[in-house]
Amino acid sequence: MEAQSLILVVDDQPRSQMALSSLLEPEGYRLAFASSGPEALAQMRLIAPDLILLDVMMPDMDGFEVCERIRADPAFATIPVVMVTALDDQESLLRGIRSGADDFVTKPFNRTELRARIRTITRLNRFRTLLDEQRIVNSERAQFLWAIERSEDGYMLLDHNGCPLDGNVQAWRYLGFDERPQAGPHAPFIETIQRLYQCEPAESWASWPAPVKQVRYLVRPEGQYAALWLQVDLLDLPEGMPGSRLVHMRDVTLKINLQRHTWTFHSFVSHKLRTPLTSLLGGMWLIHQRLDQLDPEMAMLVTTAYGGVQQLKQVVDDIFRYLDAPLMLNHGLGIPLTELPNIVMPLGQAVGGVKLHLVTDLGNGGAVLRMSRSTVELLLTELLENAHKFHPHKQPQVEILLQRQHDRLIIRVTDDGVNLSPSQLRSIWQPYHQIDEDFTGQVPGVGLGLPTINQICLSVGGRCRIHNRPDGPGIAVELELPLDVDPEAATLLPR
């Protein structure tokens, strides 16, 4: 190892540099040269040598001063320095020691002795460097373990039989211990948690410890203790590390409760808004059916009021559809790609005024879109309604492309309506952004349709894109959605 060391030779005499070069290069050392103290200090910042052979007698800045500056710089203070000097008096040796030199070689030097000294110093320097690096690693590891030990999350190391080897205090508490127990053996992790918790969803735990796409939860119902929800993640460890797997347990009780309260609030507000709104809309519809019995002025007021109530209902529906978008994902449910054409075609008739053309390129082989039928219908209906809403004559021609690309599904909806400006394209996915930028009320809705689509796509690991048609008026909206290429891994929706 020492033969690969880089040695900086500092000497103002070219003859001395050549002598040291002929001595050390055959040994395999890499050499760099400096002819003065300032040049040596500058070189060190560029090459970081493993050893410095430093001549004492040099003009302007002698070897003693150079050594003192090296030792004063934390970046170079530990580099070994061997002084090469013609001075052999005791005062010069003491000054060299005070300046920080590690060893001395007196000119004229013995070639065999100098090679032996350099070999020993470079070897020791290598060992010291390795020890320093190990101390740094140990220090960093100690800091990491200190943080893990005080983490609110539980970390448990399992052996190849699935039994706990070690874990932080929080992990042992989740397994029913008040503090870290004595060294094993311990019961298998899966047996312990099945005794303490409900494992949800059951189908994801049935394959433990095999990886699954669903999130695994441990649930302790409210009773003697407060309710507790733990999200469990399992990580395989690299070869050569103690243990086989690392279990990460995270308390998500607050998140689950907040989600539940949000759902309850949405349901309550939805009921309180929609019930009187439905009654109002029904009453206005009955009056609107008798317009011929009203005088012209009253008929105009009724028509305006009826249109306003319809628009209000659409706004309320849009808002709750946007708020409920995360709840519509139905993880664990899916539909095979072969069923998508049967879902798409009826939507054109349901929207009305849309001439629909379907193009499919779904290939062969089983693949499942992990999204419920109702969610797919929502996405496509929203896009078709937008095409109808913004078409100048309310009679758009729409092409829907269904194309499989490996483990992704591309759904591209292209209409022949209007083009959008660059600023509109940039802001189109923002909630409450409307194409009707002046808020004239001429365009119904509140600008939540496309943001709802974007939110759903992002939640399942997909993405949305939109651009103007290059060959004429209209826009193209492209949804890229992940596929499950293993049809047995998904639960298919009943027909």
Tens of pLDDT along the chain (495 residues) come to: 444 789 999 999 999 899 889 988 888 899 999 999 999 999 988 888 889 999 988 888 999 999 999 999 888 888 899 988 877 667 778 888 888 888 888 888 788 888 888 888 888 887 877 777 777 767 766 776 787 888 889 999 898 888 998 889 999 999 988 887 877 688 999 999 999 998 888 888 988 988 887 789 998 877 667 788 899 999 887 776 666 789 999 999 888 787 667 766 766 777 677 788 888 888 999 998 988 888 989 999 999 998 888 888 877 877 776 666 555 554 445 788 889 999 998 888 888 788 999 999 988 767 888 788 878 888 898 899 889 888 899 899 999 999 999 889 999 999 999 999 988 888 887 765 565 544 334 444 445 578 778 877 877 778 889 999 999 999 999 999 988 875 444 444 333
Quick one: 341 and 429 in the same domain? yes
Through-space distance between the first and last CA atoms of the chain, rounded to whole angstroms:
71
Quick one: 139 and 173 in the same domain? no
Residue 211 lies inside a defined structural domain of this protein: yes
Q: How many domains does the chain have?
A: 4
Both tokens assigned to 60: 């302007």
Cα–Cα distance measured from residue 58 to residue 10, given in angstroms and rounded to the nearest whole number: 9
Is this structure's pTM higher than 0.75? no
Q: Range of 227's domain?
A: 154-251
Contact by Cβ (8 Å): 433, 447: yes
Quick one: 176 and 128 in the same domain? no
- Enclosing H/E stretch for 426: helix 422-427
Q: Can you give the CATH number for the domain in which 229 is found?
A: 3.30.450
Exposure letters 136-160 (e unless 16+ CB within 10 A, then b): eeeeeeeeeeeebeeeebbbbbbbe
Quick one: 100 and 219 in the same domain? no
Domain boundary among 303, 323, 343: 323
Q: Can you give the CATH number for the domain in which 376 is found?
A: 3.30.565.10
Residue 149 lies inside a defined structural domain of this protein: no
Domain boundary among 275, 308, 323: 323
Quick one: 294 and 183 in the same domain? no
Cβ neighbors of 44 (< 8 A, separation 6 or more) are: 8, 52, 70, 76, 79
Q: Give burial (CB, 10 Å; 0-12/13-18/19+) of 417.
A: buried
Residue 439 lies inside a defined structural domain of this protein: yes
Compute the Cα dihedral for 107, 111, 112, 114 and give only its sign: positive
Long-range contacts of 231-238 (CB under 8 A, 24+ apart): 234/209
Cα–Cα distance measured from residue 234 to residue 214, given in angstroms and rounded to the nearest whole number: 12
Quick one: 344 and 485 in the same domain? yes
Quick one: 350 and 467 in the same domain? yes
DSSP string, 71-126: HHSTTTTTS-EEEEES--SHHHHHHHHHHT-SEEEESSPPHHHHHHHHHHHHHHHH
Q: How distant is the alpha carbon of residue 370 from its chain centre?
A: 21
Cβ neighbors of 233 (< 8 A, separation 6 or more) are: 216, 247, 248, 250
The closest alpha carbon to 474, from 486, 482, 483, 466, belongs to 466
Amino acid at 44: M
What size, in residues, is the chain? 495
